Chains A and B, each alone.
Chain A
């Protein structure tokens, strides 16, 4: 068996593994930790496309001898193989996790929520308890009369982020918004006033209920919840809010 044949079998293997890697992420739902759900059809196509390429490569290996392989333009590159195995290796070695508190610390907080196309006011007209963290941030940013919404009851979930700029007895209820993939994720959130805030572990998911007031984080307007209840909840399947 020549080096070239061996090389091509490995290429076939890496293509197949990449395809299976994507399928696995699709199957167990963790693909939503990485990209916006509207790209899922593309990911499915990509996964099966990779498997198809792998299959063609393998079939060619079986049916043809080395004579024909010699005519391919690309010289075998071990680097290509190694580097394209990196996503699989990283995916296996580092336990997968959605973006959380440590990413908030680095990306910083976007007090101004990314505006939706046109910033449709109709979106603000849903039941207050149906609003997400993003909706509340938008209410304060884009509603013609934000004050009108103050005092309305919130019922939101998010993860706990202890921002050093907050007073004692407060924490940030944070979410990431996503447009395309986690590369463009932006952290948004609401301040929650809760006497035992310090006891809540960072990065744990909670459901917060209570009336919404106007908060202030270094001079920027941000919604604040006078929490009446804070309960632990399991992390949602879809950790990000799409916009």
Chain B
């Protein structure tokens, strides 16, 4: 996994082109183009004039980007600081090795690192590289965007300290732990993670250490900021693409079409989950968005919006791709989806007044 890092000075245009082709990005961009065409077709004659639509698209896109960029920056800074100041040994001592304990610890890490989903992915990848077990990292990825003081405060502000808040936090933690446990069944992380997210070999990390001898605080900080900058470019492109996709869906598909669908106990849950994935709103503020649906949608579906949205949405899926191989990515999307849907639908059927 290390030889992949050829000396960048030797990279010719040809190699770079091949790397780009194999990265899956061209396929993705092609998919994006087809998706856009499909959406334009869906919108059909209802679409306002193209100029107006483009202007609205640009506004929504920049809105999501401007809103999320500081959070992404905080996440990459946290990642840079972890790179410099947290050694793999330290991590091994802190994190329990048992599957359940590890998953619990992963969920608890969220309170230590109050970053939303744009920030958790770079941080989790960094922790994976330091040797964090996959199950712990997965629990952290799923729980951290919700289980932190900021989201606790915003959820309380929107809904009060009521049952919905308790449900949101309890269900998130349960799903994070269960998913983490399922991931711990696979003992070979290389089948789930991309090489760039794997533990750096002992020799490799020593080589790194000698390349950057720790001397002064200023150098440590410099190193952390350099790593943060690298990370910003790696993760940032997925934030940009995700915001673009979310903005396109919002601009070109009439929202009323989605909302018409939602009142049945199952359908409403699926619609709200779909909406959460498309809107890609930051977990720190999604409570206020959910509030708007509380009157018209079933309680279970609002809960599903609040639980699944922070775990998986368009922009986080694109960022997950940087960390997980396809199999891991699928598990990460589907397991929480199944669990959230099951709980939310049961809530509608058995608990709703």
Contact = CB atoms under 8 A, between A and B. Distances in A.
Interface of A: 2-4, 7, 11, 14-15, 18, 22, 25, 31, 33-35, 39, 42-43, 45-46, 49-50, 52-54, 56-57, 60, 66, 68-81, 83-84, 86-87, 90-91, 94-103, 105-108, 110, 112, 114-115, 117-118, 179-184, 186, 243
A84 B233 contact: yes
B233 A81 contact: yes
Contacts of A80: 233-234, 236-237
A142 to B, nearest CB: 10
Contacts of B236: 80, 83-84
28 contacts: A4-B11, A11-B229, A34-B62, A39-B70, A43-B66, A56-B226, A57-B226, A69-B8, A70-B5, A73-B196, A74-B234, A79-B23, A81-B233, A95-B55, A102-B49, A105-B46, A106-B56, A107-B254, A108-B254, A114-B291, A115-B291, A115-B295, A117-B157, A117-B158, A117-B160, A117-B291, A184-B288, A186-B292
Contacts of A83: 236-237, 240-241
A57 B229 contact: yes
A101 B121 CA distance: 37
Contacts of B23: 77, 79
B229 A87 contact: no
Contacts of B254: 106-108
A229 B160 CA distance: 41
Nearest to A53: B229
Given A56-B222, A106-B255, A117-B160, A34 B67 contact: yes
Majority secondary structure of chain B interface residues (helix, strand, loop or mixed): helix
B251 interface: yes
B66 A73 contact: no
B270 interface: no
Contact of A180 (B5, B52, B73, B282): B282
B48 A184 contact: no
